[in-house]
Structure 1
Amino acid sequence: MTRPGPARPETTGPGTTERQTTGSGAGRTGAAGLWAIAASLCCFLVTALLGPSAFQPAMDARFGEPPYSLDVHPSPYLVLGLVVVGVAAGSAGLGLCFLAVRRGWRVRAFPLVVAGLLTAVAFMFMPPVGSTDHLNYASYGRMAATGHDPYETRAVDLPKDPVAGAPEEWRSTPSVYGPIATGEQAVASWIGGGSVRLTVFVLSVFNVLAFAVTALILYRTARDEDRRLRTALLWTCNPLLLFHLISGAHNDVLAIAPMVAALTVFDACVLRGRWRMWGGALAAGALTGVGGAIKMPAALAGGGPAWALLRELWKGRRWQAAGGLVALAGGAAATAAAAYALAGPHALDQVREASNMVSFATPWHLLDRMLGRGSQRDVIKTGSLVLGIVLFLLLARGLPKDDPLAEHPGQIAERRMATAFVLAWLLAAPYVLPWYDGFGWALLALLPLSRIDWILLAHTAALSLAYLPARAPQRIGMPHDLSWLFTVVRPTVIPWTLLAVLAALAVQCLRPGRSPASAPRPPASAGSPG
Structure 2
Amino acid sequence: MGFPVDLRRCQALGLAGTAFLALGGETAGALPAHDFLAPGSVQAVLGLVGVYFGVVLLIAAWVLLGGVVRGPEPPTPRSLLLVLAVWAAPLLLAPPLFSRDVYSYLAQGAMVDAHIDVYAYGPAQLGGPLADEVAPVWQQTATPYGPVFLVVASVLSALTRGQLPAGLLGMRLIALLGVALMAAALPRLARHSGADPAAALWLGALNPLVLLHLVAGAHNDAIMLGLLGVGLVAARGRWPVLGVVLITLAALVKAPAALGLVAVVALRSRGRGPRAVLRHTVTTTTAAAAATTVAATAAAGTGYGWIAALKTPVSPHNWSPTSLLGRVTGAALDQLGSGLAPFALPAWHAAGLLVTAALLLFIWLRLRPGPVYALGLSLAAVAVFGPAVRPWYALWGLFLIAAAAPTGSVRTRVAAASAVLALTVLPSGAPADVEQVILAVSGGVLALVVLWQAHQAARPQSPVRERTA
TM-score (norm 2): 0.77
Alignment correspondent of 1:367:
325
**Equivalent residue letter for 1:437:** A
**Cα deviations by residue, 1:75-96 (Å, 9 ceiling, x for unpaired):** 4443333444444454455455
- Distance in 2 separating the partners of 1:194 and 1:311: 49
- SS of the residue corresponding to residue 343 of structure 1 reads coil
2:261 alignment counterpart: 302
Deviation at 1:440, TM superposition (A): 1.9
Matched, 1:213 2:181: yes
Alignment gaps of 5+ in structure 1: 1-10, 17-33, 62-72, 270-279, 402-412, 487-530
The answer to whether the aligner puts 1:447 opposite 2:447 as a matched pair is: no
Query: Quick one: distance in 2 between partners of 1:141 and 1:252?
Result: 16
| Residue among 231, 240, 245 paired with 1:262 | 231
Residue of 291, 296, 307 corresponding to 1:348:
307
| Cα shift readout 1:37-64 (whole Å, capped 9, x = no counterpart) | x545533432323454332312679xxx
Which SS does the other structure have where 2:288 is aligned? helix
Distance 2:83 2:302 in 1: 39
1:471 equivalent in structure 2: 429
User: What's the CA shift for 1:259?
Assistant: 0.5
Q: 2:46 aligns with which of 56, 73, 78?
A: 78
Alignment counterpart, residue 425 of structure 1, candidates 364, 374, 382? 382
Distance 1:282 1:89 in 2: 43
- Cα contact 2:70–2:199 (8 A) shared by 1: no
Once residues 134 and 253 of structure 1 are traced to their aligned partners in structure 2, the CA distance between those partners, rounded to angstroms, is 12
Measured in 1, the distance between the counterparts of 2:400 and 2:296 equals: 25
2:371 pairs with 1:414: yes
**Contact 1:154-1:171 within 8 A present in 2 as well:** yes
Distance 1:393 1:149, change over 3 A: closer
Q: Give the superposition deviation at 1:372.
A: 1.5
2:80 paired with 1:112:
yes
Question: How far apart are the structure 1 equivalents of 2:391 and 2:124?
Answer: 27
Aligned pairs for 1:22-41 (under 5 A) are: 34=10, 39=13
Contact 1:139 1:155 in 2 (8 A): yes
Rounded Cα–Cα distance in structure 1 between residues aligned with 2:439 and 2:120: 34
Q: What residue number does 2:462 align with?
A: none
Q: 1:327 aligns with which of 274, 277, 284?
A: 284
Write the letter of the residue equivalent to 1:47.
L
Contact 1:426 1:432 in 2 (8 A): yes
CA contact (8 A) 2:230 2:246 kept: yes
Give the CA deviation at 1:247: 0.6
Q: Is the 8 A contact 1:266 1:281 kept in 2?
A: yes
Task: Kindly report which structure 2 residues correspond to 1:16-165, keeping only aligned pairs within 5 A, or say none.
Answer: 34=10, 39=13, 42-58=16-32, 75-91=43-59, 93-95=61-63, 98=66, 106-159=74-127, 161-165=128-132
Structure 1 contact 44–82 (Cα < 8 Å) conserved? no
Within 2, Cα distance between the matches of 1:14 and 1:482? 34
**Shift of residue 305 of structure 1?**
1.9
Q: Equivalents in 2 of 1:308, 1:57: separation in Å?
A: 44
**Alpha-carbon separation, structure 2, partners of 1:465 and 1:390:** 31
Tell me the equivalent position of 1:457: 415
The correspondence of residues 272-291 of structure 1 with structure 2, limited to 5 A, is 280-291=239-250
Q: In the TM superposition, what whole-angstrom CA distance separates every residue of 1:351-409 from its partner, at most 9, and x where no partner exists?
A: 2132355743x4334412321266422322232123324544676699995xxxxxxxx
- The aligned residue for residue 386 of structure 1 is 354
Match of 1:289, as an amino acid? T
Label 1:121 to 1:305 Cα distance change in 2 as closer, same or farther (>3 A). same
Whole-angstrom CA distance in 2 between matches of 1:328 and 1:50: 47
Change (3 A) 1:267 1:80: same
Alignment-derived partner of residue 167 in structure 1: 134
Name the CA shift for 1:365/1:382 in 2 (closer, same or farther; >3 Å).
closer
CA gap of 1:150–1:283, structure 2 versus 1, over 3 A, is same
Q: Please state whether the residue corresponding to 2:196 is helix, strand or coil.
A: helix
**Which residue identity does 1:166 align to in structure 2?**
E
Give the length in aligned residue pairs.
418
- Structure 1 residue 294: Cα displacement: 0.3
Classify the secondary structure of the residue corresponding to 1:344: coil
Matched letter for residue 200 of structure 2: T
The letter of the residue matching 2:139 is R
What is the DSSP-based 3-state SS (H/G/I as helix, E as strand, rest coil) of the residue aligned with 2:403? coil
After superposition, the Cα gap between the structure-2 partners of 1:86 and 1:379, relative to the gap in structure 1 and judged at 3 Å, is farther
Q: 1:427 to 1:156 in 2, by over 3 A?
A: closer
Contact 2:77 2:197 (8 Å CA) reproduced: yes
Instruction: In structure 1, give the amino acid aligned to 2:312.
Output: E
Instruction: Tell me the distance in 2 between the aligned counterparts of 1:369 and 1:105.
Output: 52
Unpaired segments of 5 or more residues in structure 2? 36-40, 332-341, 441-469
The structural deviation recorded for 1:469 is 4.2
Paired with 2:428 and 2:265, the residues of 1 have a C-alpha distance of 36
Q: Is 2:15–2:86's contact at 8 Å kept on the other side of the alignment? A: no
Take 1:307 and 1:443, find their aligned partners in 2: how far apart are those partners?
15
Distance 1:346 1:484, change over 3 A: farther
Cα offset for 1:251? 0.9
SS in 1 for 2:47: helix
Distance change in 2, residues 1:74/1:180 (3 Å): farther
Percent identity over the alignment is 24
Cα deviation, 1:218-259, whole Å, max 9, x if unaligned, reads 245654998231132023322221111001111110111111
**Residue 434 of structure 1 corresponds to which residue in structure 2?**
391
> Match for 2:75: what amino acid?
V
Distance 1:83 1:364, change over 3 A: farther
Change (3 A) 1:470 1:167: same
Which residue of 2 is the match for residue 499 of structure 1?
A: none
The residue identity in structure 2 corresponding to 1:306 is V
In the alignment, the residues of structure 2 paired with residue 303 and residue 96 of structure 1 have an alpha-carbon distance, to the nearest angstrom, of 36
Q: Which of 214, 234, 247 is residue 216 of structure 2 equivalent to? A: 247
Shift of 1:422: 1.3
Secondary structure, aligned partner of 2:130: coil
